[in-house]
Amino acid sequence: MRTIRSGREIDRMFATATKIQHPLVMALVAPAAEATGGRACFVAGRRLGGAVVRNRLKRLLREGMRRAGGPPFAHDVVLIARPGLASATSSQIADAMRSVLERAQDV
């Protein structure tokens, strides 16, 4: 799975992408500039906790994305952790990812 690393690209996603809401995660989805496989970015804001907590949440998002099959083809996805993610079970996270990525297919 390829990741979005450029701050400029992430800022573009926040400004122009379609938002998909879920209680555990919010996704920003936009068609990729390149016609290759999808890319992903994982974000956990400071209000969720210290560095250890934020890094754990990003690991949970990455693993959930892997188990859900990765980002949709030719789409860029930014996954933003929400407060409920820290206490969610692995099956709840997997369900959230499947739900968000199914809705992302339509963008």
Domain segments of the chain as ranges: 2-104
Q: pLDDT digits over 51-71, tens only? A: 999 999 999 999 999 998 888
For residue 67, give the H/E element and its range. helix 51-67
pLDDT of residue 82: 96
Q: How confident is the model at residue 48 (pLDDT cuts 50, 70, 90)?
A: very high
- Of 2 and 78, the one with more pLDDT: 78
Q: Please choose, from the candidates 40, 45, 28, the residue with its C-alpha nearest in 3D space to the C-alpha of residue 73.
A: 40
Q: Please choose, from the candidates 62, 67, 56, 92, the residue with its C-alpha nearest in 3D space to the C-alpha of residue 79.
A: 62
Q: How confident is the model at residue 73 (pLDDT cuts 50, 70, 90)?
A: confident
pLDDT of residue 5: 86
pLDDT of residue 17: 93
What CATH number has the domain spanning 2-104? 3.30.230.10
> How distant, in Å, are the alpha carbons of 12, 16, 41, 74 from that of 33?
12, 13, 15, 8
